[in-house]
Structure 1
């Protein structure tokens, strides 16, 4: 992704997904009490998957555009 707006959107989406995934995984691991999701393994796995997707989005957003383009 080379446009600045697109990169910012990827990074922002990734951060939101990472935070949400972390909260859901924490609830699934019974670290954050007070929810229906507390102690449920299903939410642990969903949270981990969402957090991994968030990390991937952040990495894609932070990658610099290629400088090796051939000019004609």
Structure 2
């Protein structure tokens, strides 16, 4: 499950990056180009993907013994 979560998180980060770049008009060729709302959606998607990767990375680790 950790691997699937990491993979989904990485794909969300990639998708968020693409949406952000299209939203700020650096990656042309879509209806999203130049639309500020897509830059916001991309940033939020990227942050959610990063959080998912972090949570999946932390899951399954056993705390250190005293």
Query: Which residue of the other structure, out of 46, 54, 61, is the alignment partner of 1:65?
Result: 61
RMSD of aligned residue pairs (Cα, Å):
1.5
Once residues 45 and 18 of structure 2 are traced to their aligned partners in structure 1, the CA distance between those partners, rounded to angstroms, is 10
Q: Does 1:11 align with 2:6?
A: yes
Shift of residue 68 of structure 1?
Answer: 5.1
Moved >4 Å (runs of 4+): none
**Aligned residue in 2 for 1:40:** 35
Per-residue Cα deviation, 1:36-65 (whole angstroms, up to 9, x for no partner):
100000100000000000000111111152
Unaligned runs of 5+ in 1: 1-5
Task: Give the TM-score of the pair, scaled to structure 1.
Answer: 0.81
- Helix, strand or coil at the partner of 1:42: helix
Asked which structure has the greater CA Rg, the reply is 1
The TM-score normalised by the length of structure 2 is 0.88
